[in-house]
Amino acid sequence: MKIWLGVFVILFPATVFSWNALGHRLIAQIAYDQMSSHAKQTFDSYNHALDKVYKPQTWVNSAVWLDTLRHQDINWFATMHYIDIPFSDDGSALPFPQDVNALWAIERSRHLLLNKYATSFDKGIALRILIHVVGDIHQPLHAVTKISAELPKGDRGGNLVLLDDNPVAKNLHSYWDKGAGLLGTKNYNETQIEKRAAKIEKRWPCKQLDLDSTPAQWANESHILAIKRVYKLPVDEHYQINAQKISEKRIAIAGCRLGALLNKIDENTTALALKGRGSRRYSRS
């Protein structure tokens, strides 16, 4: 992994998680539904390039791989799950977001997937990170930290906002990871995920969503949603209904954008490969 290890350095450990396993799998399925046949073939091969080192993963299950590393106490990639864009209600001084963050991870993964010198194994790792982190950045609390006099270093994306007697979760971040109860805890098989993803796609068709924006704009959307909607407590029945609607739309748009991004990467690498073969064909020896 020479190229990969040169790109991704050892990072600081963290305990912030993201959409639960079902959320990430739904995003991966929606993305796959939008991908071209050629893109599916390309990225399926990269995903399975990791099979000899890690437990083989289907496309849908590969979306959860990055979180499983933390269960194994591997924290190299921890801060790539989020970007702590700060805000404050009480005029507290705002720190800068961490240098290695979700936007950094998306850009480095994209760059590596376009690198003709990278191995299939390296591209497999980049792909799994991209699938996961694009999902993460669409969870509103993965693009924010609330700064206050009581919490000058921030509330860790709502992890320190405790919810009393809430049946969904004990803190605000976990509440949104579970889609305000929308995602539940049931272990869905891949056929069930395909059906549930199809229902979401019907309610939120990709053609009606903004797919041309940049990852920085995705993070900004999440940040604004967090300030305007997520932190507007208390977490009551009305809050939960709205939170579930927001969560479903964010899952839909994350999948649509991921699919569009992977199609574009595949188109670019294919075009470069064809150009390279053409120039070699007509070059003089």
Provide the mean pLDDT of the chain. 90
The answer to which of 13-27, 154-168, 220-234, 262-276 has the lowest mean pLDDT is 13-27
What share of the chain has pLDDT > 70, as a percent? 88
Domain chopping of the chain, boundaries:
2-276
Q: What per-residue confidence (pLDDT) applies to 19?
A: 81
Residue 184: per-residue pLDDT: 85
3-state DSSP of 57-120: CCHHHHCCHHHHHHHCCCCCCHHHHCCCCEEECCCCCCCCCCCCCHHHHHHHHHHHHCCCCCCH
What is the average pLDDT across 97-124? 96
CATH superfamily membership of 2-276 = P1 Nuclease (1.10.575.10)
pLDDT at 71: 63
Q: Which of 96, 95, 125, 87 is nearest to 109 (CA)?
A: 125
Q: Residue 146 has what pLDDT?
A: 98
Sign of torsion over alpha carbons 149, 140, 60, 106? negative
What is the structure's pLDDT at 5? 34
Q: How far apart are CA 82 and CA 230, in angstroms?
A: 16
Confidence of residue 18 (pLDDT cuts 50, 70, 90): low
Q: What is the pTM of this model?
A: 0.89
**Model pLDDT for residues 38-95, shown as the tens digit of each residue:** 999 999 999 999 999 999 999 999 999 998 887 666 666 789 999 999 999 999 999 9
Q: What percent of the chain has pLDDT over 90?
A: 80
How much is the average pLDDT of 17-45? 94
Higher pLDDT, 141 or 280: 141
Of 188, 138, 249, 257, give the one whose Cα is nearest residue 22. 188
pLDDT at 276: 64
Check if the beta carbon of residue 157 is closer than 8 Å to that of residue 231.
Answer: no
Closest listed residue to residue 139, CA positions, set 159, 123, 125: 159
pLDDT (tens digit per residue) in 194-212: 999 999 999 999 999 989 8
